[in-house]
């Protein structure tokens, strides 16, 4: 004889209860609040977000302020924002409504909801965005160009002085009388000179 579930409910009721237990899951919500809010106003925004979650049946476990960070790009004309992490349990059916309510909220600039299992646990490390100053790169490039142009002017001046010296030297050589040409050596004389030179080295 087949027995029903041990919780005293019939087979159909027991499977419904199991299904209900599986649909409630734990989530993490990371949302960004505008940096223009004061600490008191941030507390009020956090309260409104918590109320929004509870409105759809979520149970908020922990809310953590992560700090103020600079964005990589402007979001709704804002350059900085306060990051807040909330851990909550909610029914999977309510998540679509929670996501849409957060999306249309004017208090929240951006948000991201993930399963707590996928979030990686309690340990996390936020890194401050380091902006690359494109203007500084352009200024450095312009400075190099100016130095190169000055260097080119200096190099041109050196070339001109070298050419002038060469031209002056050529004129002087042309003015000098031609040196008498040495008599060509015979093969025997050349070999003797080579032998004497080699003999000195050895």
114-168: per-residue pLDDT in tens? Answer: 998 887 766 666 666 555 566 666 777 777 777 777 666 776 777 777 767 776 6
pLDDT at 109 over 90: yes
52-61: per-residue pLDDT in tens? Answer: 999 999 999 9
Q: pTM of the full predicted structure?
A: 0.52
157: nearest Cα among 4, 165, 106: 165
Q: How far is CA 154 from CA 68, 148, 157, 160, in A?
A: 52, 10, 5, 10
pLDDT at 181 over 70: no
Residues in Cβ contact with 111 at an 8 Å cutoff, skipping those fewer than 6 apart:
29, 30, 31, 32, 99, 102, 103
Using CA atoms, how far apart are residues 63 and 192, in angstroms rounded to an integer?
103
């Amino acid at each position: 004889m087949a027995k029903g579930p041990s919780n005293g409910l019939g087979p159909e009721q027991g499977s419904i209860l199991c299904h209900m237990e599986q649909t409630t899951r734990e989530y993490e919500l990371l949302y960004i609040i505008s940096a223009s809010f004061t600490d008191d106003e941030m507390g009020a925004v956090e309260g409104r977000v918590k109320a929004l979650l509870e409105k759809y049946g979520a149970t908020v476990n922990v809310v953590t302020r992560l700090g103020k960070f600079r964005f990589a790009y402007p979001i709704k004309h804002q350059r900085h924002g306060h990051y807040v992490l909330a851990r909550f349990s909610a029914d999977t059916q309510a998540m679509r409504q929670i996501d849409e309510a957060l999306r249309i909220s004017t208090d929240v600039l951006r948000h991201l909801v993930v399963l707590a299992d996928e979030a990686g646990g309690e340990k996390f490390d936020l890194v401050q965005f380091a902006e690359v100053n494109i203007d500084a790169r352009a200024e450095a490039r312009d400075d190099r160009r100016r130095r190169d142009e000055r260097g080119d002017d200096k190099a041109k001046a050196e070339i001109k002085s070298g050419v002038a010296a060469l031209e002056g030297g050529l004129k002087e050589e042309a003015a000098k009388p031609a040196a008498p040409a040495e008599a060509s050596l015979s093969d025997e004389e050349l070999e003797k000179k080579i032998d004497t030179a080699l003999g000195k080295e050895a």
